[in-house]
Structure 1
Amino acid sequence: MAAISLSIFFLSAIGCALIGWVDAADHIVGGSTGWTIQSNATFYEEWARLRNFVVGDKLVFLFTTGVHNVVEVTESDFDACTQKAVIESHYSGPATIRLSSPGNNYFYCAVGKHCVTGQKLVVAVATDDSSTTSKLTNYSSSGGGSSPGNLIPASALLSLLLWLFMW
């Protein structure tokens, strides 16, 4: 009986691990503060630097409709806070944007002077999650920030629960 239980545990762990590899992550932009004007102009830059983004992940922008929005733009529009080549606009909050291709993706709030005051975000998207850090070319600053900590995937917790249940 113990051998069967152990076999079921290992098979479920392998299955859950494989499921975990294909699941995309949802990133709530700005964490608990959401998508809003921050007192620190580099807040979103620091937030992104602590995360890894891969193709298939989703950015969730939590904001109040009419107070903020999200526009995805080119690098030159991002740098100048202009809208000459808008890729996509989201005027209703919350907005969820799927990261569909590798490389840098540029977002900002186009309401008033929000972009100029720092409500802007660039994320470096990798093709897979093998990278260990976000690489934000030309947009990283040295500065603190807190570590997101080590997160335990739900698949690992499920495997543990299954194993405990079997015993």
Structure 2
Amino acid sequence: MRRSKCMKVLFLALLITAYLKNSDAATHQVGETNGWGFSVSYTDWANEKSFAAGDTLVFNYPASAHNVVPVKIAGYRSCKALPSDMTKAQATGNDKFTLKKGANYFICSYAGHCSSGMKIQVNAT
């Protein structure tokens, strides 16, 4: 009987720990009030912030004007999304992505947008 009670207490403690860990995740509005567009240096914006795995990036923009595509480093550097990347593209104007540990890369795949600065690298600890 006593062992069963200890197991229940341990299980409850683990649930609470998992909940508290997930509740620490932050939400970051990319570009703050300027949103996702041409008016922000996203390199500077990202360098001024601290990001952790599990945090959420929110990209706000006029839905018909842009999109957001998570890419690998090659796509970030070349400003080209692969066809497989495009299956993950979002274009709602209020797109949310959960960061994974390490480098996370995003671009706008509309012609000329990425090369005009609409790309961001975020490093999550």
CA RMSD of aligned residues (A): 1.9
Q: Which amino acid aligns with 1:54?
A: A
SS at match of 1:96: strand
Count of residue pairs brought into register by the alignment: 105
| Larger deviation, residues 84-93 vs 22-31 | 84-93
How much identity, in percent, do the aligned residues show?
Answer: 33
Show the counterpart of 1:60: 58
Distance 2:50 2:88 in 1: 22
For residues 122 and 20 of structure 1, the distance between their equivalents in structure 2, rounded to whole angstroms, comes to 24
Unaligned runs of 5+ in 1: 1-17, 127-167
Q: Work out whether 1:89 is the aligned partner of 2:89.
A: yes
Deviation at 1:22, TM superposition (A): 3.8
Residue 98 of structure 1 aligns with an amino acid whose one-letter code is: T
More helix by share: 2
- For residues 22 and 65 of structure 1, the distance between their equivalents in structure 2, rounded to whole angstroms, comes to 29
Structure 1 counterpart of 2:32: 31
Three-state SS of the structure 1 residue aligned to 2:115 is: coil
Equivalent residue letter for 1:93: G
Gaps in structure 2 of 5+ consecutive residues: 1-18
TM-score scaled by length of structure 1: 0.58
- 1:115 matches 2:114: yes
**Structure 2 residue aligned with 1:153:** none
Q: Normalized against structure 2, the TM-score is what?
A: 0.77
Q: Which has the larger radius of gyration?
A: 1
Offset, 1:19: 4.6
